[in-house]
Structure 1
Amino acid sequence: MTRAYFLMGAMLALAVPAAAAEDYASGAITEVKTAKGEVLANDKGMTLYTFDKDKKGVSACYDSCAKKWPPLVAAKGAQASAEFTLVKRQDGTMQWAHEGMPLYVWQNDKKPGDVTGDGVGGVWHIARD
């Protein structure tokens, strides 16, 4: 069953250059079926991941890490909802988190449902509900 999580009417966007940000605009986090089962994804169907080096409520992925693993950044004024919370990043932007763990996409996932980031470096994992 595919579910969509509407996050207080807030728009989600990946941390990408401004010109491309609207390509990633989103109003929901969804669940999609993949080769590894149902996973959390952005509204474009791109798999979301968690990072073992993060702590609940704190991102450890910056600089070159964040270029490879763009954080799922919340629009200004976004409100947490149920198991989806917000984490403040070093630059002051807010990042979506699932059960306190910050969410990211993987630069090498090319199409909806790709899960090529699962297990990278032994520290990246598919986000599941």
Structure 2
Amino acid sequence: MIQQRIVLLSAAGLAATFLLAACDSSMDNTSSAPAAVTSVPATSVPATPATASSAPSGATTGLVAEAVKGGGDVVTDDKGMTLYRYDKDEPSPSKWTCSGECTKTWIPVIVRNSVQTTGVEKSLLGTVHRSGQTQLTLGGWPLYRYVGDTAAGQLNGQAKDRMWYAVTPSGQKLTAAG
């Protein structure tokens, strides 16, 4: 099934690059207007992996929709780590509520410039500004990584505290293991 998806996605050319708004130094946690979007073939703009010296630990350059064992289709970052959304956050307008100690367990997905996607609905991508950084949103929901996921494809944060859920390619929360 994954091979079919890869072939279909490749054949359809469903990779795109998004130019995201520059980081705002504002402490405001509400979203601004959607970032400008530019579609280009995936081969013309390679993803550049984030490194400790060039980006914060929560930085990402890619989103991928993939099947995760025991979970169905979820969104992962460019390293295969499952991304989550928090039920206490607000999608419209995007507003984050996880701060302080919360961000030590749930690491905000930070973006600097562009994000390459495969199988994720590009029109659902956006950003929200937090403490001088730009956090990625999907379907209006701010995205996070779970510190308890230590390897690609894990879902250790799924349904944690009945408030944290893996995010699906359409921006919805994953409600049942598939």
Say yes or no: TM over 0.5: yes
Please, which runs of 5 or more residues in structure 1 have no aligned partner? none
Q: CA RMSD in A?
A: 3.0
Please, which runs of 5 or more residues in structure 2 have no aligned partner? 21-46, 116-121, 170-178
How many residues are paired up? 124
Matched, 1:96 2:136: yes
State the alpha-carbon separation in 2 of the partners of residues 106 and 71 from structure 1.
9
- Cα displacement (A) at 1:21: 4.1
Q: TM-score when scaled to structure 2?
A: 0.60
Matched, 1:84 2:125: yes
What pairs with 1:15-94 in structure 2 (closer than 5 Å)?
18-19=52-53, 21=55, 26-35=60-69, 36-56=71-91, 57-75=94-112, 77-78=113-114, 82-89=123-130, 91-94=131-134
Tell me which stretches of 4 or more aligned residues in structure 1 moved more than 2 Å.
1-7, 9-14, 18-27
Whether the 8 Å contact between 2:109 and 2:143 is mirrored in structure 1 is yes
The 3-state SS of whatever aligns with 1:8 is: strand
Cα distance per residue 1:3-58 (max 9 Å; x no partner): 675442667988xxx55847765432011221211110001000000000100111
Give aligned-pair identity as a percent.
Answer: 26
State the alpha-carbon separation in 1 of the partners of residues 48 and 142 from structure 2.
13
Assess, with a 3 A threshold, how the Cα gap between structure 1 residues 73 and 23 changes in structure 2: closer, same or farther.
Answer: closer
Q: TM-score when scaled to structure 1?
A: 0.80
